[in-house]
Amino acid sequence: MKFFIDTANLDQIKEAQDLGVLDGVTTNPSLMAKEGITGKENIIEHYKKICDIVTGDVSAEVISTDFEGIIKEGEELAKLHDQIIVKVPMIKEGVKAIKYFSDNGIKTNCTLVFSVGQALLAAKAGATYVSPFIGRLDDISTDGLNLIAEIRLVYDNYGFDTQILAASVRHTMHVIDCAKIGADVMTGPLSSIEGLLKHPLTDIGLAKFLADYKKGN
Ligand code: E4P
């Protein structure tokens, strides 16, 4: 399972990279705005900074919603760095664009996916990644993890190469449940990754080992 961090915060990206388990980064316009990164030029420069920190895939989202606009923006983004994955929304023009990018060797992440039908369409169009938003489904009393399981079943039925990128991960149990179900990737906050570290018996055990070592020395 790949671990992506879902942020545009460079310090958190560095911290996750330093842990040695990071496979990539996802961003979106809201995450950029949260870091105060606005305007096309600043956003482009920020993507380059992220690519300099990590070795894996970096999702960069298009703003256009028409086919020509998505293609123009996506081709510009893809040229920035070979780690860039063009993030395209699950809309009709987006599906057409994903097919175009797939035919032209540009990797994509189909975002804002909330149903198995949308995920099937993204895979048919040749998306590299599909991003079902599990946290936002949970927010409206719908089982986000069940969507991951359904997409896994459908993709396995037909051997689709599209990777299931569990997005809108909010906490560590989401990460663990996604791993059990067979999501290929999860993207979440740094806290969802660091939460995997924690167990009180580890802390108690280490404290005892260190205390016993001191007694003997
Ligand atoms: C990732 O690609 C998505 O943009 C992100 O995971 C959305 O997460 P949120 O629902 O916590 O905003």
Q: Nearest CA to 163 among 105, 119, 133?
A: 119
Q: pLDDT by residue (tens digit) across 86-134?
A: 999 999 999 999 999 999 999 999 999 999 999 999 999 999 999 999 9
User: What distance in Å separates the CA atoms of residue 43 and residue 188, rounded to the nearest whole number?
Assistant: 21
ipTM for this model:
0.96
Give 28 Cα–ligand 1 centroid separation in angstroms. Answer: 7
Structure-block tokens of residue 172:
């560590």
Which pLDDT value is given to residue 73? 98
- Atom of ligand 1 at shortest range from CA of 187: 6
Which pLDDT value is given to residue 23? 98
How far is the CA of 166 from the CAs of 38, 46, 103, 135, 217, in angstroms?
A: 26, 24, 25, 9, 49
Q: What is the DSSP letter of 35?
A: T
At the top level of CATH, the class of 2-215 is alpha beta
Query: At CA 104, angle to CA 103 and CA 109, rounded to 5?
Result: 80
The residue nearest atom 7 of ligand 1, judged by CA position, is 168
Domain residue ranges of the chain, discontinuous segments joined by +: 2-215
Q: What is the DSSP letter of 195?
A: G
User: What distance in Å separates the CA atoms of residue 43 and residue 47, rounded to the nearest whole number?
Assistant: 6
Residues of the chain under the 70 pLDDT cut: none
Write the Ramachandran bin of 94: left for phi over 0, alpha for psi from -120 to 50, otherwise beta: alpha
Per DSSP, the three-state class of 191 is: helix
The residue nearest atom 8 of ligand 1, judged by CA position, is 168
CA end-to-end span of the chain, whole Å? 43
Known active-site residue 87: yes
Which pLDDT value is given to residue 217? 80
Which pLDDT value is given to residue 17? 97
Which residue is catalytic, options 72, 79, 87, 96?
87
Residues with a CB atom less than 6 Å from ligand 1: 6, 26, 28, 111, 131, 133, 135-136, 167-168, 187
Q: What is the DSSP letter of 167?
A: B
Which pLDDT value is given to residue 216? 81
Residue whose pair of structure tokens reads 């009393």 in the numeric block: 141
